[in-house]
Amino acid sequence: MFGAITFLLATSASYAGPCSDQIDAMQARFDAKLEAKAAAGPAAKQGVAAGMSVQPTPASIAAAEEKLGEISPRKVKAIKRGMARARVADKVGDLRACRKALAAVQRVLGP
Residue 13 forms part of a structural domain = no
Structural domain that includes position 97: 18-41+49-109
DSSP assignments along 11-44, one per residue: HHHHT--TTHHHHHHHHHHHHHHHHHHHHHSPPP
For 50, the enclosing helix (H) or strand (E) is none
Single out the residue of 97, 66, 94 nearest to residue 80, CA to CA: 66
Residue 79 forms part of a structural domain = yes
Residue 84 forms part of a structural domain = yes
Residue 54 forms part of a structural domain = yes
Predicted TM-score of the model (pTM): 0.62
Single out the residue of 42, 48, 81, 82 nearest to residue 65, CA to CA: 42
Residue 58 forms part of a structural domain = yes
Could you give the number of structural domains in the chain? 1
Residue 25 forms part of a structural domain = yes
Q: How confident is the model at residue 2 (pLDDT cuts 50, 70, 90)?
A: very low
**pLDDT tens digits for 8-57?**
555 444 567 899 999 999 999 998 888 887 777 666 566 666 666 677 77
Single out the residue of 80, 102, 77, 81 nearest to residue 18, CA to CA: 102
**pLDDT tens digits for 51-108?**
666 777 777 766 665 565 557 888 889 999 999 999 999 999 999 999 999 999 999 9
SS3 call for 89: helix
